[in-house]
Amino acid sequence: MDPSDRDDTLAAENRDLRARLAEAEETLRAIRNGEVDALVVAGLGGDQVFTLRGADYAYRVLVEEMSEGALILTAQGVIFYANRRLAQMLKVPLQQVIGAGFERWVTAADQALFRALMNRTSPQTHHRMELTLRADDGTGVPCYLSVSSLQLGEVVGSFCLVATDLTEQKRSEAIVAAEELARLILDQTAEAIVVCDNDARIIRASEVAHTLCGENPLEQPFERVFPLQEANGAPFSLARFRNTGHRRRIETRLERQGAVFYLLVSVGPLVGSQGERLGSVVILTDITQRKAAEEQIEQLAFYDPLTRLPNRRLLLDRLHQAVATCTRTRRQGALLFIDLDNFKTLNDTLGHDIGDLLLQRVAQRLIDTVRTRDTVARLGGDEFVVMLEDLGTQPQEAAARVQVVGAKVLAALTQPFDLAGHHCHSTPSIGAALISEHPTTVDELLKRADLAMYQAKAAGRNTLRFFDPDMQAALEARTALESELREALRGGSFCSGTRRRWTVRAA
């Protein structure tokens, strides 16, 4: 064939093909717009007529208005027909869906499953599966796919597919699963977790919170369900923390059915997705055992284990504060140093158990004698200290008040003691030193009260003596003399000698 003739033939075939494609596109457009009543398809077995109006028209409208995506696939997996909903699910124009291979939108993970489904030779004509389609914008579309075998006239091997979008269902399932997980976490935490709205009404609560309050707390005001008390005794109010933008913590106390719980309350804001304030999240941590441990440690560190009185360490701390207060306010205080007379004799004759019991009874009587704001401490052995504060501005007035307190202590401690069946008597020797506005050290005050106590013993015991500066000067002079004599003895400064002594008698 002449080359020019061949070129003319190819050009004619191309023009014919373009005309046929244009006609097919126009036919598809007319079908979608409902302008065609019937469609005649010519094939090897003869012409086939598809009615698009009449009885079939209602079905076509129904398919187009379905909320599911519907399509017809050829045996080769090419989309022969698709409704608008499928195009919306795939986020692609409908024109680009018709004639495309459906596997284009099946994710790689599901393609093998989809091919196996399409190649089944079982007599079953209806199959179902879940897979994920990949839309043109890259988002995944979870679908429930219903596949049915379809025969168009004498053309076999086609399929009708209905794809149900499971996006909202999956989202709801994810929300339910997240809520269930949150509930599991909420119920398995050791803390009581409570969620309140902006009116402080409880809308969520963990199992521990239910147990702690002893009732169903939902839809009830927080303060009614949890009547907490702060450290200062004031009622806890959630409203105080509601307007803060950060989490705050406070230790509280809760009385429930005769039991006392110490709770660390942590309050934080409940914020919505748009940043709006929805309420508060309250976490209540039971710190009762921790508080008991802290109190036990404090008892061991600052209190005498036998009498439960403040020990020397706590007394010195309070005495430092009292000296500073007296200096600042110019109000007088006093320190009483109390020693039990003949305690060693009782301890040795009746045993240490009876001696310990006497010390406990003496401690209780001292507490009952003084004011609650005064301090009663045990230094060790049979030595006790009473610290009095706020005794007036004048030393004479303070001394008079100390004299009254001393008389009460003497009267209380000279009363008989019934110690495990033993009828015992004991007397105290009391030394007193005033705490004035004039600066002095704590050690100096203790030494003064101790000196006054020994002066009381020297005066016959069972009495009260005030510290006397002259007594201290004499004691310091005697101490200095004894020190000089020891130095002289060590240095050999003494020499022996005799002195004649005459006795004159009257005639």
Residue 149 located in a structural domain: yes
Please report whether residue 184 resides in a domain: no
CATH code for the domain of 239: 3.30.450.20
Which tens digits make up the pLDDT trace of 33-53? 556 555 555 544 554 445 555
Q: Is the dihedral of CA 475, 479, 480, 484 positive or negative?
A: positive
Overall average pLDDT of the 326-351 stretch: 90
Residue 205 has what pLDDT? Answer: 87
pLDDT value at 451 more than 50:
yes
Considering its fold, how many domains does the chain have in total?
3
Q: What is the mean pLDDT of residues 253-261?
A: 85
Rounded-to-integer distance, Cα 48 and Cα 248, Å: 79
Position with higher pLDDT, 57 vs 151 = 151
- Residue 197: inside a domain: yes
DSSP, residue by residue, 61-90: HHHHT-SSEEEEE-TTSBEEEE-HHHHHHH
For the ranges 286-300, 403-417, 476-490, the maximum mean pLDDT occurs at 403-417
Name the CA radius of gyration of the chain, rounded: 51
* 311 and 287 assigned to the same domain: no
- For residues 439-476, one letter each, b for 16 or more C-beta atoms within 10 angstroms of the residue's C-beta and e for the rest, the string is ebebeebbebbbbbbbbbbeeeebbbbbbeeebeeeee
Give the pLDDT confidence of 395-439 residue by residue, as tens digits.
888 888 998 999 999 999 999 999 988 899 999 999 999 998 777
What integer pLDDT is reported at residue 309 of this predicted model? 94
250 compared with 483, residue with greater pLDDT: 250
Judgement on whether residues 283 and 312 belong to the same structural domain of the protein: no
Identify the pLDDT of residue 7.
58
For residue 49, the model assigns a pLDDT of: 47
Same domain, 140 and 241: no
Domain membership of residue 376 as a residue range: 307-485
Lowest model confidence (mean pLDDT) among 64-78, 180-194, 322-336: 180-194
- Residue 263 DSSP class: E
Residue 55 confidence (pLDDT): 47
User: So what's the pLDDT on residue 123?
Assistant: 47
Same domain flag for 380 and 477: yes
The pLDDT of residue 478: 67
Angstrom distance (rounded) from CA 244 to CA 276: 13
How is 446-461 classified by DSSP, letter by letter? HHHHHHHHHHHHHTTS
DSSP class of 245:
S
Mark whether 476 and 339 lie in a shared domain: yes
Is residue 502 one of the residues assigned to a domain? Answer: no
* Domain end among 166, 201, 221: 166
Amino acid sitting at position 237: S
282/211 same-domain check? yes
* pLDDT tens-digit series, residues 51-64: 555 445 555 666 77
Output the CA angle 179-182-184, nearest 5 degrees.
Answer: 110
Give yes or no: residues 287 and 320 share one domain: no
Position 126 in a domain = yes
- Average pLDDT of the chain is 81
Residue 280 pLDDT > 90 = no
Domain boundary residue, one of 291, 326, 351: 291
Which pTM value belongs to this model?
0.50
Same domain, 324 and 465: yes
Q: With bands split at pLDDT 50, 70 and 90, how would you rate the model's confidence at 334?
A: very high
Task: Give percent above pLDDT 70 in the chain.
Answer: 80
Residue 86 near residue 97, CB atoms below 8 Å: yes
HEC assignment per residue over 309-362: CECHHHHHHHHHHHHHHHHHHCCCEEEEEEEECCHHHHHHHHCHHHHHHHHHHH
Same domain? For 157 and 87 the reply is yes
Separation of alpha carbons 215 and 150, rounded Å: 62
Is residue 194 domain-shared with residue 248, that is, in the same domain?
A: yes
Is 490 a domain residue?
Answer: no
Asked whether residue 338 is assigned to any structural domain, the reply reads yes
- Residue 278 CB contacts under 8 Å (≥ 6 apart), including other chains: 197, 198, 270, 271, 272
Residue 429 CB contacts under 8 Å (≥ 6 apart), including other chains:
338, 339, 341, 453, 454, 456, 457, 461, 462, 463
In one letter, which amino acid is 112? A
Does any domain span residue 8?
A: no
> For residue 386, what is the domain's CATH number?
3.30.70.270
Let me know whether 395 and 249 are in one domain.
Answer: no
Together in a domain, 232 and 281: yes
What gap in Å lies between CA 19 and CA 473, rounded to an integer?
135
